[in-house]
């Protein structure tokens, strides 16, 4: 595959994630859109690293760290959403507007 194919995949993932994050009202669906956008950035970054220096493992390590951090971030986000839902029975962004300080 070429760099253009990977960048096209990244652009498609980012577009779908952006549409999902902007068009939904459910907090979980917004988080899924944000995760797709983060995956698109990781795919594009990994493709650039692979085509810039394929013999060095630096890019692979950075991608693994980014995926791990993204998984931890999403787990914390889902825990917060679950706690809000259990406490106040709120699962939409409009209903959660009164939570801001």
Helices 3-23 and 27-52, axial angle in degrees (round to 10) = 170
State which of 10-14, 44-48, 61-65, 81-85 shows the largest mean pLDDT.
10-14
Residue 101: is its pLDDT beyond 60? no
Please write the tens of the pLDDT for every residue from 21-80: 999 888 888 889 999 999 999 999 999 998 988 888 888 888 899 999 999 998 998 898
* Residue 55 CB-half CA count within 13 A: 0
**In what helix (H) or strand (E) does residue 41 lie, and over which residues does it extend?**
helix 27-52
Q: Is the pTM of this model over 0.85?
A: no
The answer regarding whether domain 3-89 maps to CATH 3.40.190.10 reads no
**25 phi and psi angles, rounded to 5 deg:** -110, -15
Q: Give the model's confidence band at 97: pLDDT under 50 very low, under 70 low, under 90 confident, else very high.
A: low
Q: How far apart are CA 15 and CA 11, in angstroms?
A: 6
pLDDT of residue 18: 96
Residue ranges of domains in the chain: 3-89
Which two tokens mark 37?
Answer: 């956008």
Look at residue 89 and tell me whether its pLDDT is greater than 70.
yes
């Amino acid at each position: 595959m070429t760099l253009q194919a990977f960048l096209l995949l990244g652009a498609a993932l980012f577009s779908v994630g952006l549409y999902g994050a902007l068009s939904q009202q459910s907090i979980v669906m917004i988080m899924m859109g944000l995760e797709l956008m983060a995956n698109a950035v990781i795919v594009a970054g990994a493709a650039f690293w692979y085509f810039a220096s394929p013999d060095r493992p630096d890019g692979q390590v950075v991608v693994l760290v980014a995926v791990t951090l993204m998984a931890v971030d999403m787990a914390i986000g889902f825990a917060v959403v679950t706690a809000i839902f259990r406490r106040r029975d709120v699962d939409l962004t409009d209903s959660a507007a009164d939570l801001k300080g």
